[in-house]
Structure 1
Amino acid sequence: MTVLHESDGIDFRLVCDGCGAAVERLGANLHNWDLAWSFIKRHGWIGDRSRQGPHGCPRCTRRAAAAIDG
């Protein structure tokens, strides 16, 4: 699972399945997963729209693209 809930039960963070980079406090700032995902996706994150993922951060996305381009 790549969306992790914090101990308060409201806040959550998104974790990259590739490198472990995390975007913290998404629930506190964006309030729900759908809004958070639409915002994060515009900033280069890729993956499945579901909370379960997988999800990849912009850095891992660039690495994967560079490896394909060779």
Structure 2
Amino acid sequence: MKEVQRKLAITAWRQLFTLSENRIDAEARYYRLLRSADDMEREGLITSAEWLKLAQQAGTLFSSTAECMAGPK
């Protein structure tokens, strides 16, 4: 049962991660990704190491979006 929940939760996280920028604000997506990872860890669906990887991916995505939004220097 828990493995099914884990797969569903990770799939939902990945879908949010891959949403196009025009469908969701970059900052909102970042916080939703972190909240989702927090929820998965709290429910025992992922380990702390897996949480860290997801948080790093969310941060990398957000920072790359923020750099693009800053425009030319």
Q: TM-score scaled by structure 1?
A: 0.33
Q: TM-score scaled by structure 2?
A: 0.32
- Structure number with the bigger relative contact order (C-alpha 8 A, sep ≥ 6) is 2
More strand by share: 1
More helix by share: 2
Structure with larger Rg:
2
